[in-house]
Amino acid sequence: MALIVQKFGGTSVGSIERIEQVAEKVKKFRENGDDIVVVVSAMSGETNRLIGLAKQISEQPVPRELDVMVSTGEQVTIALLAMALIKRGVPAVSYTGNQVRILTDSSFTKARILQIDDQKLRADLKAGRVVVVAGFQGVDEHGNITTLGRGGSDTTGVALAAALKADECQIYTDVDGVYTTDPRVVPKAQRLDKITFEEMLEMASLGSKVLQIRSVEFAGKYNVPLRVLHSFQEGPGTLITIDEEESMEQPIISGIAFNRDEAKLTIRGVPDNPGVAFKILGPISAANIEVDMIVQNIAHDNTTDFTFTVHRNDHLSAMRVLENTAREIGAREVIGDTDIAKVSIVGVGMRSHAGVASRMFEALAREGINIQMISTSEIKVSVVIEEKYLELAVRALHTAFELDAPARQGE
């Protein structure tokens, strides 16, 4: 008998019909003798509807009150699912984050989990009940309702699995696992049977939307085996685990990630003095703008060109900050570019294979794609290219690293 935490997202519980389907799925697991804790999101579109109501009152709603309101979305879903289970003869009980006592800090709208009181859950499981918990929410030390930010239900699921020392945390979604890249861009993309936390973290941070980054970090920290599964299709999904299989079959690259939400800024003709990087990036950081890739080139006239990338939403804010800095330090000009994208190859297999980066560059060169910036780590290589070449680059790299699914007979 296993203890399994199952998380169902908004689309999985988006209608009464779907909630009934989820109840059927949970019932089957219960009939196998497994102990089940279910974490659910609000019905799809409900959180946006609630935020929309708040914005009719105030363009910038008070975060504490916003959390009080948006947390009601999950409260509806947990009660409906518990009802659907009870109707099927499965003993079930629903709890809000406050009732379980998922203790968080007081950062309203983006709180972090500090501690979970699992006594109530264990007592219910021992009594043979399925426990249905509201995702995305908790309570701070003052009794205020808090929410964990977008995708926070994944984090709730993983945190409960860690607290209960569950055998597996299953994340049910609208895809049947983690793929080598987005199948909409590369039809020959393959579902991975297994991927490491490290690789999944890179994929999530580089643009793969399958799992929320915080939930992967949490799972890796507490070694909670994570499995991504399709809500309404049978299949093994993808297991995310700490193990790196030391075998001949271990691929060099596990996946190709990409991100269109990038912008590049360059400040040219900067006097090349000590501390220049801080003078440029200090004000950017102070404006709460996150910098990703950085390149610095020294010219013959003792000046430097300094280039970095930010999220595209931060482009105009970063430009304003950089123009002020340019005037202060006597730089020649500031240039911005939003027509770029980032493409990355990810894989723990890189550690034991030389020449991975050059193979990547060769594949892009064959397609006539110019690389503007390069960033590397132990298990990834990222490049910035023109956005119009993004899909061509992803397909070329997918083929170059032998990730394409084999053609079926007759194709």
Known binding-site residues for ATP equal 7-10, 173-174, 179, 184, 209-210
Q: How far apart are CA 79 and CA 84, in angstroms?
A: 9
What do you get for the CA distance between the two ends of the chain, in Å? 44
Closest Cα to residue 270, out of 322, 305, 233, 227? 305
Q: How far apart are CA 280 and CA 151, in angstroms?
A: 33
Listing DSSP states for 157-220 in one string gives: HHHHHHHHT-SEEEEEESSSS-BSS-TTT-TT--B-SEEEHHHHHHHHHTT--SS-HHHHHHHH
> Do residues 73 and 66 make contact, with C-beta atoms less than 8 angstroms apart?
no
Q: How far apart are CA 239 and CA 122, in angstroms?
A: 25
Task: Pull the structure tokens for residue 69.
Answer: 């309101």
Residue 170, phi-psi category: left (phi > 0), alpha (psi -120 to 50), beta (remainder): beta
Residues annotated within the binding site are 7-10, 47, 74, 173-174, 179, 184, 209-210
Query: Which residues contact residue 234 at a Cβ distance below 8 angstroms, ignoring those fewer than 6 apart?
Result: none
Place of tokens 């947990």: 78
Q: How far apart are CA 106 and CA 92, in angstroms?
A: 30
Q: How far apart are CA 357 and CA 318, in angstroms?
A: 30
Task: Pull the structure tokens for residue 78.
Answer: 């947990």
Residue type, 32: N
Residues annotated within the binding site for substrate are 47, 74
